[in-house]
A and B are shown apart, each in its own frame.
Chain A
Amino acid sequence: MASAELRQIRRRIRSVQSTMKITRAMELIATSRIAKARLRVAEAKPYTAKMTDVIRNIAAAGGLSHPLLERREVKTSGVLVVTSDRGLAGGYNSNVLRLAERALNAHRANNRPIQLYVIGAKAESYFRYRGYQIQDSFLGVTDTPTYGDARAVANILLDDYEQEKMDSVEVYTTRFVSALTQTPVLWPLLPIEPPEMSEDTQIAGYSFEPSPEEILGRLLPRYLEGTIFGILLEASASEHAARRRAMKAATENAEELTKALTREGNAARQAEITTEISEIVGGAEALSHG
């Protein structure tokens, strides 16, 4: 019959091991997701790159003039924060939330009203809890973002921007630097920063169908969607990478803990046996001397 102490240790080992099963499964899932998410980031690049190219060419042909490119005096700032829907991803969410809140405080210090948009349940609950007024929130998109999600976000931002509810939009999101490094960043979204002329910008006598202005007018909203799509994809890759790292650490901790507990359990068992033996020996001695 095991002692109470031993029983308790065995129960803790079981509990730690079942947690470890979960963290290990999440680690494996996140690992497979990273590869997929990174591939999507890479596959989306040609589209935005080509679009930038087209904008450059239009600029070369006759200059860029469009409301979405015009800087106007910033009376109200739009802020979009991108987090995940679920936690268990280490510092992924808190890092970007901290960066965003610092910016919000700065705007407040300047007495500048803000329009807050959030992507991800974590950002929503964070800002709601702190009493911020959230203009719009988008949930369930960060795990595997689709282009439709990006379009929905872009449409709402564009509408509010065009109605001059805000005069700029900045995005707080996480860039996927490498599997080990994801950095929270500020990404200016609106007005659209015209791409810089590169050396190889083709100055060719393009013929435009329809006019360059009209093409630009159609192109810029698509460009915005593409940019947001890229942001979402990178955030998603970062989320999976952060979760993998967090879950790997958790699994390793659980392994350590199991080892320590097993050792403790062995000691307890040994102590029990020793007690039993000395009791038996003691009893036998008493009998033989009797």
Chain B
Amino acid sequence: MGKPFTVDVVTPEAVIWQGEADFVAARTTEGEIGILADHEPTMGALTAGAVVINSTDGSTITVGVNGGFLQVFSNQVTLLTDRAEMTEGGKEEALRLAQELGGE
């Protein structure tokens, strides 16, 4: 277990997930990005795909996103996306959801 940091997943309809995590993996237009605590301040544009959050309570949250933005600043990660869907079905399921969101 690494050092925890806070994560917010925010959509226009609601804050869909908020909590503590020790690892976040996402895909920006430049490639995969993995975030641990004390990550340098970063701003990224996400591509459609899966974002994986390892919550400190031991669970893994997978969010299918249809693009969006990622901001990392002083152990505070914010994911902004206009469409996102949470799933417990793992990364494949999240990718499928992301494709569905994009295809709407």
Number of interface residues of A (CB under 8 A): 33
Q: Is B1 at the interface (CB under 8 A from chain A)?
A: no
A147 CB–B CB distance under 8 Å:
yes
A208 with B80, Cβ < 8 A, contacts A47-B10, A229-B12 known: no
Count how many chain B residues have C-beta atoms less than 8 Å from C-beta atoms of the other chain. 28
Whether A210 contacts B10 by the Cβ 8 Å rule is: no
Inter-chain contacts of B40 with A (CB < 8 A): 205, 207
A228 to B42, CA, bound (A): 27
Q: A51 — nearest CB in chain B belongs to which residue? A: B80
- Which residues of A lie under 8 Å from residue B33 when comparing CB positions? 209
Question: A residues 206-238 with Cβ under 8 Å of B?
Answer: 206-210, 212, 214-215, 218-219, 222, 225-226, 229
Residue B4, interface by CB 8 Å: no
Within 8 A of A (CB), among B1-31: 8, 10-15, 28-31
Identify the B interface with A (CB < 8 A).
Answer: 8, 10-15, 28-31, 33, 40-45, 67, 69, 71, 73-74, 78, 80, 82-83, 104
In the assembled complex, 6 residue pairs joining A and B whose CB atoms fall closer than 8 Å, in A order, are: A44-B12, A54-B69, A57-B43, A209-B45, A215-B45, A219-B69
Chain A interface (Cβ within 8 Å of chain B)? 40, 43-44, 46-48, 50-51, 53-54, 57-58, 147-148, 150-151, 202, 204-210, 212, 214-215, 218-219, 222, 225-226, 229
